[in-house]
Amino acid sequence: MGTYALAVNVFVMRKPDENVELVHRYLLETNLKIFGLSYAVNHLGDIYLTGRLPLTLNEDDLDRLFGAVLRYADESFNKLVELGFESAIRREWAWRESRGESLENLQAFAHMIGE
Residue-wise pLDDT for 43-70, tens only, equals 999 999 999 888 888 899 889 989 999 9
Instruction: Work out the average pLDDT over 75-95.
Output: 97
Q: What is the pLDDT of residue 2?
A: 52
> How many Å apart are CA 86 and CA 84, to the nearest integer?
6
Q: Which residue has the higher pLDDT, 10 or 115?
A: 10
Q: What is the pLDDT of residue 115?
A: 58
First and final C-alpha spacing in the chain: 47
The CATH code of the domain at 5-84 is: 3.30.1460.10
pTM greater than 0.75 (yes/no): yes
